[in-house]
Amino acid sequence: MAILNATPDSFYAASRTPDPNTLAAAAVRAAAAGADIIDLGGESTRPGAQPVAPEQERQRLIPAIAAVRRALPGMLISADTRHATTAAQALAAGADIINDVTGLDDPDMAALIARSGCGAVLMHHRGEFATMQRLPPLADPLGCVRQGLAAIAGRAGAAGIDAAQVVLDPGFGFGKNLDENLPLLAGLDELHALGYPLLAGLSRKSFLRQSAAEAPESRLEASLAAATAAVLAGVHLLRVHDPAPARATVAFADRLLLASLK
């Protein structure tokens, strides 16, 4: 899943492509580099980000979806939004999947997903975007995420969302302080007990840095190492900024995983 943002403030500058036609061209390049899904966002959810009104989010996101759909008629498109009103318009514009980083916090989102039959990536998070990195420490990060994802899956089922529509995302970096992400990655295979496919969004995130001064532009190698660990833990989808090196990494990790099962 390749990340492209119709935003001016997403944490990795190279992912920001506010112009719909330029974004569509970037999506074509991502597809050629090996992306299976294009994930489009109109609101930054980086640590410290301020909320964007749904109306402004839609002004950014819906033209981007339409442009990518015209450029790539057969591509799977994911709309990264936490607002049901935006999600409805995204699906009408050609999106196939709703990627909800709040795991159905909007009370209307579950009903929309159930009614539409679209795919849904439902993520675990803690707190608000502006303050989520200043929350009290977690005694058991993996246990917290496992419990939270089970609750999200339960809400989805109660709303009539078929289990086959759902992928769960542990939400690396979302309400987990830097080192709390490491036990989550190390224990990722335990989340298979929930019975759903898993997505890992690790690409260029802060917990991968070697020093506080290291910028996202310097985190490719650590991102690929983390992606390898995720694949060996059995993750089904990776959300990435760099589809070509990620694709090569996944291909080798898959070979290693298959060798370990023989």
Cα(150)–Cα(5) distance, integer angstroms: 29
Q: 3-state DSSP helix/strand/coil percent for the chain, to nearest 5? A: 50, 15, 35
Q: Dump the DSSP string for 209-231.
A: -SSTT--GGG-HHHHHHHHHHHH
For the annotated catalytic residues, the residue numbers are 205, 239
* Element spanning 183, H or E: helix 181-186
Cα(116)–Cα(114) distance, integer angstroms: 6
Is the Cα torsion angle 93, 97, 102, 108 positive or negative in sign?
positive
Q: Dump the DSSP string for 17-76.
A: --SHHHHHHHHHHHHHTT-SEEEEESS--STTPPP--HHHHHHHHHHHHHHHHHH-TTSE
Q: Three-state SS for 123?
A: strand
Question: Which residues lie closer than 8 Å to 132 by C-beta, 6 or more apart?
Answer: 47, 125, 126, 174, 175
- Are 173 and 47 in contact by the 8 Å Cβ rule? The answer is yes
